[in-house]
A and B are shown apart, each in its own frame.
Chain A
Amino acid sequence: MWTRFFTRKVHWADIIVVAVLVLFFGYIWIQIDGKLNYKWQWERIPTYLFRYDEDSERWVANVLIQGLLTTIRISIFASLLAIVLGVILGMARTAKNLTVRMLARTYLELLRNIPPLVIIFIFFFFLSEQVVTALNIESWAYAVSRSENVAIWEFFFGDMRRFPSLISGVIVLALFESAFVGEIVRSGIESVSKGQREAAQSLAMRWRDEMQIVVLPQAFRKILPPLANQFIVLIKDSAIISLVSVQDLTLRAVELANSTRMLFETWITVAVLYFVLCFGLSMLFRWLENRAKLVPD
């Protein structure tokens, strides 16, 4: 791919495009560096990725990497939950029963036609005020944070004292994404031919077995690429829950930028972290997809 890129002839139009870009970024640079009298402090950034812990004499993650880990955790949990909800939604959308279809459609349209931010504010405060309190999650999480096997819990959920807000964030994000996952699942279910379902029915299968054994496995094979893509979209969307004080990468960056005044360094670093994560995943998925194609079925 790269060799092809370089061996291709460079056109004079390309040179103009590059020149314009250089001029544009040069201008912005001058504005920031000269006019704003901005003092770049790139050398301080690495210490906010990792810092040396005097007590344990080890390098440990600092705010930005902690934030990145939280973002990854939230994205994984929210995706798993979104897939469960999405499968239910997708099946409901293709159900025979009209009431079930209507309910699913209502849920979908509500989530699709209200800005995510508004959904998140409504659900987050409902969840964190009502559900989390009702289930006594808060005191449970504090108990865990003082227990002995806290290390295992922290591996999965990060700082346990932050668990209630993390779990609310995960649920809200999953609700929001489930609408999109549901539509992907529906398209997968509809791609399974009618004959397949008739064969299952004439073997006297229950609806559950028909779905579990015949329809969903075939549907999932078809929708794996769009689902993987939706996972990456979810990682990017997850930045939104920083607004309800879940300490993900974005919120950590806001705090860091405010306290150190390294506005550009912080946000450029954060952009790079998101990019590496999402682009890396999309390359990984593409590789897996190509490899799957090589295996004959």
Chain B
Amino acid sequence: MIEIRGLGMYFGKFQALSNVSLSVEAGEKVVICGPSGSGKSTLIRCINRLEEHSSGQLFVDGVEIGEETRNIRNVRMEIGMVFQQFNLFPHLTVLDNLTVGPVRVRKMSRRDAERRARKYLQRVHIPEQADKYPSQLSGGQQQRVAIARSLCMEPKIMLFDEPTSALDPEMINEVLDVMVELASTGMTMICVTHEMGFARKVADKMVFMEEGEIIETAPPEEFFNHPRSKRCQMFLDKVLEH
């Protein structure tokens, strides 16, 4: 589904990614972790080309992403993205946040889009909030709306960039629960998160990054019980302390 080969990425002179390779099968769940500034966000943002890589190759569903990609929009339609800061459209109601993509991009009728929106609001357990504005919801609710907004495009892949980091502790689980349920539907998911409980539960593959490189890739048991690199071990000790 996603094939990354020797990816490099620069912000001006600063190298944010170097020689990153990773492949993700359809239906696979990958959890990426690593210290702050290690390039986790940059990596997943390259996948839907919010950042442009400068070397290496990147394929999504068989299409190479790069300068030559004729229609990046066709690729983006198949990739949902959930941000740390939700990024809901504050001037639109929850329902409009959900229907705007299908109506504008997928050219769906308003009625069908609304039916679909309500279906996914149900899926994230807030069917009753459809007519409110984002600012009237709690953080956890907002993030679930953001997940539903992505799902309304019925993508093949979902990217999550620290979806619970901006939330109060008591709201983290309601979002993680939705993500676990989503995982069980067979969605291909790449999650940047430090929620190791969640990672243990759903991950097929763990990825540890540091200073723009992938240091370790392993199945969860191996990753948590016998990490090969010392840096990964130190990182896990720190995260698991809490």
Please give the residue numbers on chain A whose beta carbons come within 8 Å of chain B beta carbons, in ascending order.
Answer: 193, 195-196, 198-199, 201-206, 209, 213-214, 217-218, 221, 297
Contact = CB atoms under 8 A, between A and B. Distances in A.
- 6 closest A-B pairs (Cβ-Cβ)? A199-B87, A204-B76, A202-B81, A203-B101, A195-B87, A204-B77
B91 A221 contact: yes
Contacts of B150: 202-203
A203 B77 CA distance: 6
A60 B2 CA distance: 76
Given A204-B76, A209-B104, A213-B104, 6 more contacts: A195-B85, A199-B87, A199-B89, A203-B150, A206-B104, A218-B89
Contact of A204 (B87, B105, B149): B105
Contacts of B135: 297
A214 B153 contact: no
A203 B83 contact: no
Contacts of A204: 73-74, 76-77, 101, 105, 153
B108 interface: no
Given A195-B83, A198-B87, A221-B91, A203 B50 contact: no
B100 A213 contact: yes
B15 to A, nearest CB: 22
Main SS at interface, chain A: helix
B48 interface: yes
B198 interface: no
Please tell me the size bucket of the interface on B: 20 to 34
A209 B89 CA distance: 13
Interface string B129-163: 00001010000000000000110010000000000
Contacts of A199: 81, 83, 87-89
Contact of A202 (B80, B89, B100): B80
B186 interface: no
Contacts of B149: 203
Nearest to A202: B81
B6 interface: no
Contacts of B73: 204-206
**Most chain B CB within a 10 A radius of its CB, from A199, A214, A221, A297:** A199
B79 interface: yes
24 contacts: A193-B87, A195-B83, A195-B85, A199-B83, A201-B48, A201-B50, A201-B76, A202-B48, A202-B80, A202-B150, A203-B100, A203-B150, A203-B153, A204-B101, A204-B105, A205-B104, A205-B105, A206-B104, A206-B105, A213-B100, A214-B89, A218-B89, A218-B90, A297-B91
A221 B92 CA distance: 13
B189 to A, nearest CB: 15
B85 A203 contact: no
B145 to A, nearest CB: 12
A199 B133 CA distance: 17
A193 B90 CA distance: 11
Interface in B63-77: 73-74, 76-77
A205 B76 CA distance: 9
A203 B87 CA distance: 12
A214 B81 CA distance: 17
A224 to B, nearest CB: 13
A112 B190 CA distance: 50
Contact of A217 (B80, B91, B153): B91
Nearest to A218: B91
Nearest to A209: B104
Contacts of A202: 48, 50, 76, 79-81, 150
Contact of A203 (B74, B76, B91, B133): B76
Nearest to B49: A201
Nearest to B73: A204
B235 to A, nearest CB: 27
A297 B105 contact: no
B133 A297 contact: yes
Interface string B82-122: 01010111110000000011001100000000000000000
Nearest to B134: A297
A80 B91 CA distance: 24
A193 B91 CA distance: 13
A108 B238 CA distance: 55
B112 to A, nearest CB: 17
Nearest to B82: A202
B4 to A, nearest CB: 18
Contacts of B48: 201-202
Nearest to B104: A209
B92 to A, nearest CB: 8
A201 B135 CA distance: 22
